[in-house]
Amino acid sequence: MRTDFVEVEAQAQRFRLYFDTDEPGLLHISARHGMSAADSVALFFEGECSWNEARKRFESRLGRRVLYWAWLHGQEHGTVLVLSCFEKQEER
């Protein structure tokens, strides 16, 4: 069982975010994408959510910002597992 994570709570909802494997002192979303736990929480509550059947994950979008997430252990309405959070680069 992995223990390299932090859990935060906002609006009575719990979120689990993992630390980066290459930079263990930083959250994965911070080390790789410059995003914070607060960014992922905001996207969860404010973004437009859709289900990606091919990837079996939820995707919440607000402008160019994207949150990939799932219910931890498949328990709907439990802890939100933050898979990735980033800002999309402009299309070329």
pLDDT of 92 over the 70 cut: no
Q: Residue 30: inside a domain, yes or no?
A: yes
pLDDT tens-place string over residues 25-43: 999 999 999 999 999 999 9
Return contacts of 1-8, CB within 8 angstroms, 24+ apart. 6/37, 7/79, 8/37, 8/41
Question: DSSP secondary-structure letter at 21?
Answer: S
Q: Residue 32: inside a domain, yes or no?
A: yes
pLDDT category of residue 1 using cuts at 50, 70 and 90: low
CATH number at residue 58: 3.30.2310
- pLDDT for the residue numbered 77: 83
Q: Residue 75: inside a domain, yes or no?
A: yes
Question: In this structure, how many other beta carbons lie within 10 angstroms of the beta carbon of residue 58?
Answer: 19
pLDDT tens-place string over residues 42-91: 999 999 999 999 999 999 999 999 999 999 988 888 999 999 999 998 66
